[in-house]
Amino acid sequence: MHFRPATSSDVPAILDMMEDFNRLEHIPWRRGPGEAPLRTLIGSPGLGTVVLGLDGDTPLGYFVLTWGFDLEWGGRDAFLTELYLRAEVRGAGRGRVFLDAALASARAHGARAVHLMVRTDNTPALELYRRAGFTAPPRVLMTRPLD
């Protein structure tokens, strides 16, 4: 297995995986409107990175890191917005391999911390993240869409 940044030619395969990811996470998402932001992110390294995990040329999954800046963390931080493995390759420690690759990518891009959200009922993911050193801060992430 190896990892590489996604390119525009990877968009169709990533969109297929994003459909499954969003279905599993119960996130309302549609492929059509989801394509433009994906292409923007792939073409704008200042915003973040989309990385594919591959076996040869076959995509096994992907992760998405977006960049932020936080005074509390002393500079750049990252948000792991998506980490997805195809159903047939889950297990056998591959989630940890993907997570370690995401953390290494964040470090390589100068991030001082990585944040993520996980569903409270996603026990396998919660355990994976806790074993990797993630903790739940005593604060709640709140979101307000802007028009």
Q: Is 15 exposed, middle or buried (0-12, 13-18, 19+ CB in 10 A)?
A: middle
Q: Give me the pLDDT at residue 109, please.
A: 98
Q: What is the CATH number of domain 2-132?
A: 3.40.630.30
Q: Give me the pLDDT at residue 71, please.
A: 96
Q: Give me the pLDDT at residue 34, please.
A: 86
Mean pLDDT of 90-114: 96
DSSP state of 47: T
Tokens of 98: 């993907």
Summarised one tens digit per residue, pLDDT across range 6-34 is 999 999 999 999 999 888 888 888 878 88
pLDDT at 91 over 90: no
Q: Give me the pLDDT at residue 26, please.
A: 84
Q: Where are the domains of the chain?
A: 2-132
Tokens of 96: 């940890």
pLDDT at 104 over 90: yes
- Predicted TM-score (pTM) of the model is 0.93
Summarised one tens digit per residue, pLDDT across range 29-88 is 887 888 999 999 999 999 999 999 999 999 999 999 999 999 999 999 999 999 999 999
- Distance between CA atoms of residues 8 and 143, nearest Å: 29
Higher confidence at residue 21 or residue 101? 101
